[in-house]
Amino acid sequence: MSLLKAWRAAIVHCIADPKEVGIENAYEYFADGLLVTENDKIHAIGHADKLLPKLPKDIEIEHHPDGIITPGFIDTHIHYPQTDMIGSYGEQLLTWLNTYTFPEESKFSDKQHAREVAERFLAELLRNGTTTALVFGTVHKVSVEAFFEACEVQNLRMICGKVMMDRNAPDYLTDTPETSYEDSKALIDAWHNKGRLHYAITPRFAPTSSDEQLQLAGKLLGEYEDVYLHTHLSENKDECAWVQELFPQSRHYLDVYDQHQLLSERSVFAHGIHLCDHEYHRLHETGSAIAFCPTSNLFIGSGLFRLSEAEKQQVNVGLGTDVGGGTSFSMLQTMNEAYKVIQLQNENLNPIKSLYLATLGGAKALRLEDKIGNLAVGTEADFIILDKKATPLLTSRLALSKNIEETLFVFMTIGDDRAIKATYSAGQCVHQR
């Protein structure tokens, strides 16, 4: 039976990349809008006064006079097993991994622990309005099983993978090329494209994989048409120097992955801070994407992502939190820090561009733009309701806002989980404040 439901509020969503069509043509805004869903899909979107007369008289309508509906946020890089180590003090990447990350990740050999953290992690994402994420598990197969099982209960569109890591990490956290290949393959067969779930082949980063393991990761990527490849790239200067030592044959960092056939339209590389022209060019040529993770890049002192350079070289970019290197689950706070990273390079990040990166741009980076990322009719009903009166400061500041761009910018500057009134996934409410 088909079931129509409607929400009345302001609505804003991106319909194109501002870089391609200009800011004005990149979004649609309805000051008094109506979003109509039919079961799990968007059925109609438009001005309330135009749509209301066309709807059945008995349709259920939720009215949010202080609400703004946007698509659910898309986080293109996050580690669910690092939920409980967010805010770990004082180190940069390589020491941070050894001191905090590896001991924390060892706990995920226990499926019960993994399940408990996965549930809290998903609750945190949804509280922050994030409806899709590209997620690292740990080296343990059970960590990914626990994650997917938790996602399935709420019918979330999520992507995850088991870490492949066979060297330069503690023995308790390493696999072998063969077991990583077998475990990843079994997980793909069991979970990839099951409902709304997808699998990402996940070598941690070049330093923790042997040539043999990377080669098997590439083989696996070639064996399936539409699985993802998810890893880290060129985040920290010491890391980059180490990669050159470990792989003297490679021309640059990305070349290590390139030589193992790991670049593809479904490959997502977190960070990509210290890249040369040739690396941008290969990312563009292969349709690969970068996940820009500003809170992490600042917190662990990695550097400033060059968004305008990536754009100039036509590389797909999404936005990521990178928790627990990142300091917030909130994509609003991630946009706040992105703005500052760009400011430090004497440029401005337009709020519509930020919204694009957090929604449709992320969907495009993940090749899911036919399903999620905006509120086009026929796409999946993953959306959120922002509350203009969520806090006293939002209330007073937004009372002075002159237009939707300014309103969005204020949400992106002082907003966080409190600003998310409700989150919907496939038409179902999965969070209510």
Residues that bind Zn ion (CB under 5 A): 270, 322
Token output for 204:
């941690």
In three-state secondary structure terms, 297 is: helix
- Cβ proximity to Zn ion: between 239 and 255 the closer is 239
Place of tokens 């627990």: 324
> Smallest gap, in angstroms, from Cβ of residue 302 to ligand GUN?
8
> Smallest gap, in angstroms, from Cβ of residue 105 to ligand GUN?
8
Q: How many CB atoms lie within 10 A of CB 205?
A: 25
CA dihedral 126→361→404→55, nearest 10 degrees, is: -70
- Cβ proximity to Zn ion: between 355 and 366 the closer is 366
Residue (of 344, 289, 279, 280) closest to 319 by Cα position: 289
> Smallest gap, in angstroms, from Cβ of residue 170 to Zn ion?
18
- Cβ proximity to ligand GUN: between 13 and 77 the closer is 77
**Is 78 exposed, middle or buried, given 0-12, 13-18 or 19+ CB atoms closer than 10 A?**
buried
- Which among Zn ion, ligand GUN, none contacts residue 204 (Cβ within 5 to 8 A by kind)? ligand GUN
> Smallest gap, in angstroms, from Cβ of residue 54 to Zn ion?
46
> Smallest gap, in angstroms, from Cβ of residue 321 to ligand GUN?
10
The crossing angle, in degrees rounded to 10, of helices 351-358 and 404-414 is 60
In three-state secondary structure terms, 158 is: strand
> Smallest gap, in angstroms, from Cβ of residue 359 to Zn ion?
21
> Smallest gap, in angstroms, from Cβ of residue 156 to ligand GUN?
22
* Interacting residues with ligand GUN (CB under 6 A): 79, 93, 97, 101, 204-205, 232, 235, 296, 322, 325
- Which among ligand GUN, Zn ion, none contacts residue 235 (Cβ within 5 to 8 A by kind)? ligand GUN
- Cβ proximity to ligand GUN: between 79 and 252 the closer is 79
- Which among ligand GUN, Zn ion, none contacts residue 379 (Cβ within 5 to 8 A by kind)? none
- Which among Zn ion, ligand GUN, none contacts residue 8 (Cβ within 5 to 8 A by kind)? none
- Cβ proximity to ligand GUN: between 71 and 324 the closer is 324
Distance in angstroms (rounded) separating the CA atoms of residues 316 and 288: 7
- Cβ proximity to Zn ion: between 37 and 82 the closer is 82
Phi, psi of 124, deg, nearest 5: -65, -45
Is residue 10 within 8 A of residue 404, CB to CB? The reply is: yes
Burial 130-142 (b: 16+ CB within 10 A, else e): bbbbbbbbbbbbb
Is residue 289 within 8 A of residue 233, CB to CB? The reply is: no
- Cβ proximity to ligand GUN: between 97 and 135 the closer is 97
- Which among Zn ion, ligand GUN, none contacts residue 205 (Cβ within 5 to 8 A by kind)? ligand GUN
> Smallest gap, in angstroms, from Cβ of residue 270 to Zn ion?
5
Place of tokens 């995850």: 160
Is residue 315 within 8 A of residue 17, CB to CB? The reply is: no
Token output for 169:
């990490």
- Cβ proximity to ligand GUN: between 321 and 354 the closer is 321
Distance in angstroms (rounded) separating the CA atoms of residues 183 and 138: 12
- Cβ proximity to Zn ion: between 187 and 270 the closer is 270
- Which among ligand GUN, Zn ion, none contacts residue 196 (Cβ within 5 to 8 A by kind)? none
- Which among Zn ion, ligand GUN, none contacts residue 101 (Cβ within 5 to 8 A by kind)? ligand GUN
> Smallest gap, in angstroms, from Cβ of residue 323 to Zn ion?
9
In three-state secondary structure terms, 76 is: strand
- Which among ligand GUN, Zn ion, none contacts residue 156 (Cβ within 5 to 8 A by kind)? none
- Which among ligand GUN, Zn ion, none contacts residue 320 (Cβ within 5 to 8 A by kind)? none
Cis ω for the linkage preceding 324 (within 30 of 0): yes
Residue nearest to ligand GUN (CB): 325
Token output for 241:
């120097």
